[in-house]
Amino acid sequence: MHWPKAARAQDTVCVSCHTALTYALVREPLGRFLKESGSAPARQRLLADVRKRVQLSPQLPPYYPDKALASRGTEAVLNALILADEDANQGHLSAATQAAFDAMWATQLTSGPDAGSWPWIQFNNEPWEAPDSGYYGATLAALAVASAPDAYRTRPSIQQGLGRLHDYLTRAFAQQTLLKRADLLWAAGRLPGLIEPAARDSTLRELWAMQRSDGGWSLASLMPNWKRRDGTPQDNESDGYATGFVALVLQESGVAPTDVRLRRALYWLEKHQSIWNGRWSADSPNKKRGLRDEPRHFMDDAATGFAVLALLNARPPAIDVPHSSGAAHTASQTLRSQVTRIKD
């Protein structure tokens, strides 16, 4: 929120898929786990910024004036999801969130091959701003609806838009990478009927097939045809983004907590948190980033958010995966002891 390149009109900021969104989704449940009193100041500021942009939307220029339509669509979905997630914590749908949803449905595409999705910003950057990222955006819209309290998903006024969204997600499913199909599993875990059982089961089988021997996943394996624009090879080792996200998706999809493959994934996360800064790491799939390259943090931000969500969601809390020495580790104990390094 202090990054100069994220600054926007009226002292607001550009909400990012990689950093602000994952922070917004993870910070409240993390605070509950830590038994904190009150919400984190940075999170409160982020929520205030989103509400301000919703309120002033007609007066504010788009995130990127040269990509006005895509900017409006992307922001509308992100705003709705962040505020709906907050309202789920509070137990009621606020006026600001209702306004955010109104803007979201108003920017939904209603005709053409992508009808049912949203115009989405793309800078040829995976996994959030690539040519296929509109599918990811549509799954976030579904997640927003699923998160909203007060039985929002059943309101007659949104059924037409929700139907278009469902049709798009079904129609475009087969053309998506495994990563984008996993995005749908995330939303479908909270919005029943969003995916056909056969498609769900086949996607889960593919995700399991990509699990590495160490228990993790590599992002490159989930979108194998994507090439870095600088020509450098993709990192094929297990990384925090892919492993954290897939572990979360598996849990949201109803995989049994006793499944040893899931327990191995959670154990990988347990063992790969940095002891120096508390985060989980992942490399950019778009170019090799240098140590002084500010965007190098983006993948780590998202990896850390998904890793913590996966560990917080772990049931039962004890992850009885032995070390080579035969000792056992407990993921919840590790998270509690290390989490103060990442909470802010």
Query: Which residue ranges make up each domain of the chain?
Result: 1-177, 210-344
First to last CA, the chain: 13
Per-residue pLDDT averaged across 219-236, rounded? 95
Tell me the per-residue pLDDT of 251-300, one tens digit each, with 9 for 90 and over.
999 999 999 999 999 999 999 999 999 999 999 999 998 877 777 889 99
pLDDT grade for 179, boundaries at 50, 70 and 90: very high
pLDDT of res. 319:
43
Tell me the per-residue pLDDT of 64-111, one tens digit each, with 9 for 90 and over.
999 999 999 999 999 999 999 999 999 999 999 999 999 999 999 999
pLDDT of res. 8:
94
pLDDT at 335 over 60: no
Per-residue pLDDT averaged across 122-144, rounded? 97
pLDDT grade for 149, boundaries at 50, 70 and 90: very high
pLDDT of res. 39:
87
Q: What is the pTM of this model?
A: 0.91
pLDDT grade for 315, boundaries at 50, 70 and 90: low
pLDDT of res. 316:
52
Which residue in this structure is represented by tokens 């394996």? 221
pLDDT of res. 38:
86
The percentage of residues in the chain with a pLDDT greater than 90, rounded to a whole number, is 85
pLDDT grade for 223, boundaries at 50, 70 and 90: very high
pLDDT of res. 88:
96
pLDDT of res. 326:
34
pLDDT of res. 281:
96
Of 28-32, 123-127, 337-341, the range with the lowest mean pLDDT is 337-341
Cα of 339 vs its chain's centroid, Å: 20
CA 242/CA 250 separation, integer angstroms: 12
Q: What is the 3-state secondary structure (H, E, C) of the chain?
A: CCCHHHEEHHHEECCCHHHHHHHHHHHHHHHHHCCCCCCCHHHHHHHHHHHHHHHCHHHCCCCCHHHHHHHHHHHHHHHHHHHHHHHHHHCCCCHHHHHHHHHHHHCCCCCCCCCCCCCCCCCCECCCECCCHHHHHHHHHHHHHHHCCCCHHHCHHHHHHHHHHHHHHHHCHHHCCHHHHHHHHHHHCCCCCCCCHHHHHHHHHHHHHCCCCCCCCCHHHHCCCCCCCCCCCCCCCCCHHHHHHHHHHHHHCCCCCCCHHHHHHHHHHHHCCCCCCCCCCCCCCCCCCCCCCCCHHHHHHHHHHHHHHHHHHCCCCCCCCECCCCCECCHHHHHHHHHHHCCC
Q: Are 81 and 140 in contact (CB under 8 A)?
A: yes
pLDDT at 17 over 60: yes
pLDDT grade for 44, boundaries at 50, 70 and 90: very high
